[in-house]
Structure 1
Amino acid sequence: MSLLRKIFIPLLLLGGLSALGWRLAPQAPPPEESRRPTPAVPVTAATVQPQDYTVTLATRGEVRARTESSLVAEVGSVIIDIAPSFREGGFFEQGDILVQLDDRDFKAAVTIAKSAVAQAQTAVTEESARAAQALDDWKALGRPGEPGPLVSRKPQLAEAAARIESAKASEQRAARDLERCTIRAPYAGRVLDKSADVGQFVSAGREIAKIYAVDSAEIDLPLSSEQLAFIDLPERYRGEKISLDDSGPEVTLRSDFGGRSGTWQGRIVRAAGGVDSRSRQLYVTAQVQDPYARRSGEVPPLKVGTWVSADITGKTLKNVFVIPRVAIRDGNTVLVIGKDSKLHSRHVEIAWGERDHVIVRSGLEPGELLCTVSLQFAVEGTLVKPRIEPMPALTMPGRPAPAATGKS
């Protein structure tokens, strides 16, 4: 017990003296906190200026012929000859002989019809002579008044005259059937499909080939309700004359098929009579003149059935701001850099959206500095260090995209 006292008591006294000395010692002042300025965030920016912008509507469609027909035999006979171009893909001009049928029987029918006409004319001459003779006999007998119709042979004369008309009609029909043995092209076109050849008998009404005109091609292009607000369509109203002028919107068609790409220019010539009940879209028809003509470069012909993308020239928006899509945040918000070099959120009204840029109708002022870089965690009042660059150039106009719905 005395040993514990000898150890514990000195330790307790030593601890108490140490605590007393620490309390009496002067306290050193705490170190001052260093206040470093917040670094500015480097961003790219561009000065916005109003301008006029022509909207381009993007859509797609399939090329079809303006006129497509079935080439049909009007008389029955055997095919004895066809034109060298009367093959799938062959071109022909209006009036070209495409198919020749055996016409020997039809030539004989024409000869027989001419003979019938001559016989009918002879019968009329004979009846006229009989009528004149009957009138002379009536007078020679001294009978008073005019002779009756039967005495003067008027019914017989009328019947003979009618037989002439009938014989002439038969002759004309036989001549037409003879002409129909030579099947000619109704217009300048191309053979789509051939279903008969030399040596084959075709009956009247039998389809020989499918052909289509090559003077122009047409493409039905669907437009949504949003797109229709930015185009002036050639509408037609009841009682108005159909106009054939070229006042419709211009359209540029592009296609890449089999490694060959091409571009063609056309116009919108009409709109469909109603809205499609399934897609709720309105189809407009673009027309391209002379689609099979050789063009400069290696542009292929615009063939029927080709799937093409189309850029339709729409309305021109006045005094709008064209800004890059990456500058849009939360659908309709942009970041503007103030004179204090700080970010400020601004709500804007978007009139139209393209793939890489949007068209702002209101919400910006000329000369303002727009942040053109995507900042994921930008907050109001963030200090930035802008690097001013030209507004990004527009690329591939005519590829509309919906307005942004989330943060860029």
Structure 2
Amino acid sequence: MSKPRFVIPLLIIAILFVIAVLIIKNPPKQPSDDADRRLQMAVNTMEVAPGDYQVVVESYGRVEPVTRSFLAAQVSGQIIEVSAQFDNGRFFNQDDALLRIDDRDYRASVKVAEATLLDAKRVLIEEQARGKLAKDDWRRSGKSGAPDSLVLREPQLLAVQAGLLSAEASLDKAKLDLSRTVVRAPYSGYVLARSVDLGQVVSVNERLGEIYSSHALQVRLPLRNRDLAYINLGNGIAQSNKPSHDPDVRLRSSIGEFADWPAYLTRTEAAIDDASRQLHVVAEINQDLSDADQTGKAATNVEVNAKAKQALPRIGQYVTAHILGKKLEQVIVVPLQSIYQGSFVYLVEDGHLYRRDIKVAWQNQQEALIREGLQ
């Protein structure tokens, strides 16, 4: 009964003995002294040589109108007509009637002013006749010397002439007020907001809406300090609205369908922005839609609106700007990913890697311009 109890331990001891013998007879092989223990690695390399390089600076900004206005009533009264073009987002042409104010009181004022002017002319004719009679009476009197101005009724004549001028001015003012009952567009553009509606009574200087000109849009672009030396900022003199040179800037947006617009640097702001401590330049998009129909045929409002929306970005839209900078000669440019910790690169010579410290003069998101270290 006790025999099986000793079989299992003896079997385990025998197995361990066999394993120990095998390990002793087959020790692990040590690498030979002449084996190549150096770490082998595959690297991508590129040849670097001086060449010409066109600097393109990237920035971001928001589209704003160059000309933006608040329409205000110049006369008071009830609005009796509102144009379909005077609505949010609609396009209008210069001198389009956007809304009309009840003009009956102003027409009556014109007639009153015309009557006052006629009466002033009558008084002038009568006074001129009185002056002539006074001059004739002086001659018949036989008195020597020149007659006094009071005798010739010259002060009375001046008063009548002043009354005539006042009557003419009153008529001009009445006609001007009458013309102001029709609120016309000062330029071609778009409606940003409308503040009034049909039947509303407005007072003088009350805001009617907000509009902006389609002649040009602008984008205010911040520049990093390191970018300033690589952009032609100009001398602050305003440039032409329609430059003859190639665009300085390409504005791009991915809202909806991808689109881009040519733009021109028109000015540099005079002061550094207090919040960002950056200098801003202004790029202008010149795409006047007032002559959208070049065929000479009258385009419908729907057609004009379609062309306008296709041609211009929206107000407030954020865009990416690629600013054409200076063209540099005989400079070294390397991919940004080849620079480590922003201060060194690896060079390959005779199959060996060497670290080389460098100094970066300028960089964008893809490339870096090397100032020192690779010359």
TM-score (ref. length: structure 2): 0.81
Which residue of structure 2 lines up, in the alignment, with residue 224 of structure 1?
224
Equivalent residues of 1:234, 1:248 under 8 A apart? no
Superposed displacement of residue 284, structure 1: 0.9
Q: Percent identity?
A: 35
- Aligned-partner residue type, residue 100 of structure 2: Q
Residues 1:320 and 2:334 aligned together = no
Matched position secondary structure for 1:54: strand
> Cα distance 1:71–1:323, how it changes in 2: closer, same or farther (>3 A)?
same
Which residue of structure 2 lines up, in the alignment, with residue 65 of structure 1?
65
The partner residue of 2:248 within 250, 253, 270 is: 250
> Cα distance 1:200–1:35, how it changes in 2: closer, same or farther (>3 A)?
same
- Aligned-partner residue type, residue 329 of structure 2: K
Q: Counterparts in 2 of 1:7-406, with a 5 A limit?
A: 34-38=33-37, 40-236=40-236, 242-244=238-240, 246=243, 250-257=248-255, 259-290=256-287, 301-338=312-349, 340-364=350-374
CA distance in 2, matches of 1:42, 1:268: 46
When Rg is computed on C-alpha atoms for both structures, the one with the higher figure is 1
CA distance in 2, matches of 1:318, 1:42: 33
Superposed displacement of residue 349, structure 1: 3.1
Superposed displacement of residue 361, structure 1: 3.6
Which residue of structure 1 lines up, in the alignment, with residue 5 of structure 2?
none
CA distance in 2, matches of 1:200, 1:146: 65
- Aligned-partner residue type, residue 328 of structure 2: L
Equivalent residues of 2:247, 2:262 under 8 A apart? no
> Cα distance 1:359–1:284, how it changes in 2: closer, same or farther (>3 A)?
same
- Aligned-partner residue type, residue 349 of structure 1: K
> Cα distance 1:160–1:349, how it changes in 2: closer, same or farther (>3 A)?
same
Q: Which runs of 5+ in 1 are unaligned?
A: 1-30, 366-408
CA distance in 1, matches of 2:316, 2:57: 22
- Aligned-partner residue type, residue 314 of structure 2: K
Equivalent residues of 1:261, 1:300 under 8 A apart? no
Pairwise CA RMSD:
2.5
Bigger helix fraction? 2
CA distance in 1, matches of 2:36, 2:165: 113
CA distance in 2, matches of 1:178, 1:49: 75
Superposed displacement of residue 49, structure 1: 2.3
Range with bigger deviation, 245-254 or 82-91: 245-254
Cα-to-partner distance string for 1:19-62 (whole Å, 9 max, x where unaligned)? xxxxxxxxxxxx99541245653322222222211122111111
Which residue of structure 1 lines up, in the alignment, with residue 8 of structure 2?
none
Superposed displacement of residue 163, structure 1: 0.9
Q: Which runs of 5+ in 2 are unaligned?
A: 1-29, 293-304
Which residue of structure 2 lines up, in the alignment, with residue 380 of structure 1?
none
Matched position secondary structure for 2:78: strand
- Aligned-partner residue type, residue 346 of structure 1: R
> Cα distance 1:98–1:33, how it changes in 2: closer, same or farther (>3 A)?
closer
CA distance in 2, matches of 1:316, 1:144: 92
Matched position secondary structure for 1:46: coil
> Cα distance 1:127–1:356, how it changes in 2: closer, same or farther (>3 A)?
closer
Range with bigger deviation, 315-324 or 38-47: 38-47
CA distance in 1, matches of 2:365, 2:215: 35
- Aligned-partner residue type, residue 318 of structure 1: E
Equivalent residues of 2:226, 2:362 under 8 A apart? no
Equivalent residues of 2:227, 2:362 under 8 A apart? no
Equivalent residues of 2:287, 2:312 under 8 A apart? no
Equivalent residues of 2:238, 2:266 under 8 A apart? no
Q: Count residues in correspondence.
A: 328
Matched position secondary structure for 1:208: strand
CA distance in 2, matches of 1:174, 1:299: 43
Matched position secondary structure for 1:124: helix
> Cα distance 1:284–1:87, how it changes in 2: closer, same or farther (>3 A)?
same
> Cα distance 1:317–1:190, how it changes in 2: closer, same or farther (>3 A)?
same
> Cα distance 1:179–1:62, how it changes in 2: closer, same or farther (>3 A)?
same
Equivalent residues of 1:261, 1:299 under 8 A apart? no
- Aligned-partner residue type, residue 95 of structure 2: G
